[in-house]
């Protein structure tokens, strides 16, 4: 609730119109992309910038989580393959060691 109140107070105090300009190449009279010169309230520009930053950060975090899960699955497959290789090398008569029994 305090955060909502602070945001509302911020919006109320920052209603001055601002005009955004974006030029892809700073060459005179040569504009590839030009944002229409529509005045926007300052609070809207600030809040949209914060929201865009949060979205970019969230997408980066989701991508990193997928990469970590992929790495974890690969490591688990490697562990399973190595454990089966250990069992095949020891043979059926020796059995598993106490360490492998506690782990399993």
What is the model's pLDDT at position 4?
A: 87
Contact 53, 31 (CB under 8 A): no
| Lowest-confidence segment of 7-11, 24-28, 70-74 by average pLDDT | 24-28
Q: What is the pTM of this model?
A: 0.60
Compute the Cα dihedral for 79, 80, 83, 85 and give only its sign.
negative
Closest CA to 39 of 16, 58, 22: 16
pLDDT tens for 29-76 read 665 566 667 788 998 989 999 999 999 999 999 999 999 999 999 999
Is the pLDDT score of 104 beyond 60? no
Q: What's the whole-number mean pLDDT along residues 78-104?
A: 75
- What is the domain partition of the chain in residue ranges? 2-103
What is the model's pLDDT at position 8?
A: 87
């Amino acid at each position: 609730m305090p955060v909502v109140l602070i945001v509302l107070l911020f919006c109320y105090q920052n209603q001055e119109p601002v005009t955004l300009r974006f030029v892809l190449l700073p060459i005179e009279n040569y504009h590839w992309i030009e944002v229409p010169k529509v005045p926007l309230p300052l609070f809207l520009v600030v809040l949209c910038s914060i929201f865009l930053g949060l979205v970019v950060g969230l997408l980066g975090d989701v991508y990193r989580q997928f990469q970590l899960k992929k790495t974890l699955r690969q490591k688990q497959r490697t562990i399973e393959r190595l454990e089966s290789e250990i069992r095949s090398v020891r043979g059926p008569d020796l059995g598993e060691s106490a360490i492998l029994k506690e782990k399993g």
